[in-house]
Amino acid sequence: MILQALGRYYERAENLPREGWVRRGVDYMIVLDEQGQCVGLEPIGERQNGRTVPSETLVTAIGKQAMKHTNSGKDANLLWDNASFVFGTGNKGKVKLASFLDALTTWFAGVNDLGVEAVRTFCLNLQSNPESVSALSERFHVKEDFEKRDPVLVFRLVGDVEYVHMRPAVRHAYEGMLPSSSSDGALQGNCLVTGEIGVRLAPNESVIKGVWGGQQAGCNIVSFNARAFESYGKRNRNGENAPISLRASFAYTTALNHLLAKGSRQRIQVGDASTVFWAEAPHELEGALADLFGESPKDDPDRGTDALRALYRAVETGRFALGGDDTRFYVLGLAPNAARIAVRFWETAPAIELARRIKRHFDDIAVARSPRDPEHLSLFRLLAATAVQGKADNIPPNLGGEVMRAILEALPYPATLLNAAVQRCRAEQQVSYPRAAAIKGWLNRDARRRHLPQEEFPPMLDPDHQSAAYRLGRLFAVLEKIQEEASPGLNATIRDRYYGAASATPVAVFTTLLRLKNHHLGKLNPGRATQMEKLIGEIMAGVEDFPRHLNLPDQGRFALGYYHQRQAFFTRRAAEATETESTQGEPV
């Protein structure tokens, strides 16, 4: 199902390379004259954040070495490759250069093209005179860079605009050779992806790059590295263990590498899960999911909020700006597993149904906030709030994938989310906006799972909610507010000393706090003291006794009650300030 959907995406996408071609990052361009003499060695990457980023270029793909070389040194690419293959440097340098020349001979033996001949002459000169490589790198001031890494090189004939491998005669000859080259010695079989019978099978899958945390050289979804995983009699014929045609293998690996590419608008990082998404036809959601779940860029801070409003509008009207409401949509989450890729989650649904589920997620985590907090809460910020020091590396393993799966399939959030959010609240004695949002979302989905809609929480303070833990959280916020008003400028409040104990074992703390409260009320003016006493009475009316212990969900309700009450104080104060300014501005 996954490979079939990726194959269909490849067929409909117009900007993906066709069979025999691949996009690779290229670092340098070697400019040759017609006699094969090097007249230029120019960097073609772009400088970003103090480093050079390779330029994505369409190049030939004569085998899996286009994405990843073996250690043999005998698998050179055609008219482009790493410097070690082009110049014959480093470990097995002579073997690599010989392989590069062999590829030229194999593919262009009968082709009379100035560009190909110039490249062949250039490489033959290097082969007969290896010392010239050092002089060449010093001449063009690239020696230091070439010693640090093995950059990718392409060729251009002086006076040409296109690279040698893109010259019309070269391209025509290369594409004409593709069918015969791939049929030589190829296994025949039935393709598991397309259902075709008697087609050429791919002996190995092209590597997948771009999965966060995976091997830099690339990983595989379909691969075999032990006898136990192979079918009987097919040890030396890997293509038959999971028969996939050459065309289907190229299609789905090209599509997936495109979706995973850096800068792709159809990929986000959710914890350790690299998540990509696409539709069976061009659709608005293909570009919107990255804005909905990702962080807004600094130059466009309202992008996430705009995407969220567009989502709500689409759900309300049942129409999208691009694409139909019944267009099939796909979301795939991948995570590294040594040299393989693990499928963390896979979801497919009509676009309108997926939009409703995503809207449900944002409804569930919607919570009162201060003006400085963003209206759109990205998934990364939600998860990072549950991690030590707010760092992505400290997000609990698998949590990102489990939360995303819960969103896409309309399931309860994982218990790990509540546990992590509550633990961070206790450890830091602070219920922040994203933690309160995560806790509220978890509690509401749990109440829905248990068919108890009366236990769901609204975004704002709910004075009528009957949960004792929620009311105790509100009471703790009121007691802290009384202390703050009685002793302005305190370096620490009761929250810094008692929050952890109050949220876990209320009976051990609240008797002491209520006794201290009387001392603080004595410092307030009588009207404010009466107001606070009345508020405490209203909250305590729903609490029969202080519990000895609160379980994890009740600790979440305590945190949410505390957060809601604090936000209610700030909201009321802001409203009073606005009303005062309005009254002062009125003419007498």
- 38 and 127 both lie in a single domain: yes
Question: pLDDT grade, residue 77 (50/70/90)?
Answer: very high
Sign of the C-alpha dihedral, residues 154, 12, 340, 291?
A: positive
Nearest to 362 by CA among 287, 292, 411, 439: 292
* Structural domain includes residue 318: yes
pTM, to two decimals: 0.82
* Structural domain includes residue 455: no
> How does pLDDT run across 438-480, given as a tens digit for each residue?
999 999 999 999 999 999 999 999 999 989 999 999 999 999 9
Number of structural domains in the chain: 4
- 64 and 33 both lie in a single domain: yes
Q: Give the CA distances from residue 258 to residues 9, 55, 487, in Å, rounded to whole numbers and listed in that order.
A: 11, 15, 60
- 158 and 29 both lie in a single domain: yes
Using CA atoms, how far apart are residues 455 and 471, in angstroms rounded to an integer?
Answer: 13
Residue with tokens 């916020």: 477
Higher pLDDT pick, 186 / 467: 467
Using CA atoms, how far apart are residues 88 and 103, in angstroms rounded to an integer?
Answer: 14
Given a cut of 70, whether residue 254 has pLDDT beyond it is yes
DSSP run (H or E) holding 127: helix 114-128
Q: Give the pair of three-digit tokens for residue 399.
A: 């949590």
Given a cut of 80, whether residue 572 has pLDDT beyond it is no
Using CA atoms, how far apart are residues 69 and 76, in angstroms rounded to an integer?
Answer: 8
* Structural domain includes residue 459: no
Using CA atoms, how far apart are residues 181 and 186, in angstroms rounded to an integer?
Answer: 9
Percent of the chain with pLDDT over 70: 93
- 13 and 152 both lie in a single domain: yes
* Structural domain includes residue 461: no
* Structural domain includes residue 586: no
Using CA atoms, how far apart are residues 521 and 402, in angstroms rounded to an integer?
Answer: 47
Given a cut of 50, whether residue 357 has pLDDT beyond it is yes
pLDDT at residue 67 in the model: 85
Domain that holds residue 44: 2-183
Cβ neighbours for 190, distance < 8 A, ≥ 6 positions apart: 196, 197, 198, 199, 243
Pairing of strands 28-32, 152-157: parallel
Buried b (16+ CB within 10 A) or exposed e, 310-348: bbeebbeeeebeebebebbbbbbbbbbeeeebbebbebb
Using CA atoms, how far apart are residues 340 and 223, in angstroms rounded to an integer?
Answer: 8
pLDDT at residue 584 in the model: 45
Classify residue 195 as left (phi > 0), alpha (psi -120 to 50) or beta. left
Q: What is the mean pLDDT of the chain?
A: 89
DSSP run (H or E) holding 46: strand 46-48
- 476 and 407 both lie in a single domain: no
Domain end point (choices 154, 183, 212): 183
Given a cut of 90, whether residue 350 has pLDDT beyond it is yes
Sequential DSSP letters for 350-389 = EHHHHHHHHHHHHHHH-----TTS-SS--HHHHHHTTSGG
Domain end point (choices 150, 168, 183): 183
Mean pLDDT computed over 222-246: 72
Higher pLDDT pick, 48 / 312: 312
- 355 and 481 both lie in a single domain: no
Using CA atoms, how far apart are residues 345 and 409, in angstroms rounded to an integer?
Answer: 10
pLDDT at residue 282 in the model: 92
* Structural domain includes residue 193: yes
Domain end point (choices 447, 476, 502): 447
- 120 and 250 both lie in a single domain: no
Residue with tokens 């296109």: 162
> How does pLDDT run across 373-424, given as a tens digit for each residue?
988 999 999 999 999 988 888 888 889 889 999 999 999 999 999 999 999 9
Catalogue the E-assigned strands of 421-482.
Answer: none
Dihedral angle computed from the Cα positions of residues 385, 390, 392 and 396, in that order, rounded to the nearest 10 degrees = -60
Which backbone phi and psi does 307 adopt, to 5 degrees? -65, -35
* Structural domain includes residue 587: no
Mean pLDDT computed over 242-262: 90
- 512 and 555 both lie in a single domain: yes
DSSP 8-class letter at 545:
S
Using CA atoms, how far apart are residues 320 and 104, in angstroms rounded to an integer?
Answer: 51
Which backbone phi and psi does 551 adopt, to 5 degrees? -75, 180
Percent of the chain with pLDDT over 90: 65
205 and 339 in contact (C-beta within 8 Å)?
A: no
DSSP 8-class letter at 415:
H
Mean pLDDT computed over 102-111: 91
Residue with tokens 């190049």: 59
Using CA atoms, how far apart are residues 402 and 26, in angstroms rounded to an integer?
Answer: 37
Given a cut of 50, whether residue 583 has pLDDT beyond it is no
* Structural domain includes residue 157: yes
pLDDT at residue 180 in the model: 65
Given a cut of 50, whether residue 202 has pLDDT beyond it is yes
- 372 and 517 both lie in a single domain: no
Residue with tokens 């393709």: 191
564 and 474 in contact (C-beta within 8 Å)?
A: yes
- 302 and 401 both lie in a single domain: yes
- 295 and 387 both lie in a single domain: yes
- 321 and 393 both lie in a single domain: yes
Residue with tokens 């068919």: 451
Using CA atoms, how far apart are residues 220 and 337, in angstroms rounded to an integer?
Answer: 10
Nearest to 115 by CA among 58, 56, 60, 35: 35
Using CA atoms, how far apart are residues 59 and 79, in angstroms rounded to an integer?
Answer: 8
Q: Give the pair of three-digit tokens for residue 55.
A: 């330029």
Given a cut of 50, whether residue 348 has pLDDT beyond it is yes
| Residue 300 DSSP SS3 | coil
Dihedral angle computed from the Cα positions of residues 572, 578, 582 and 583, in that order, rounded to the nearest 10 degrees = 40
Nearest to 348 by CA among 334, 364, 327: 327
Q: Give the pair of three-digit tokens for residue 518.
A: 């009387």
DSSP 8-class letter at 212:
T
pLDDT at residue 393 in the model: 83
34 and 69 in contact (C-beta within 8 Å)?
A: no
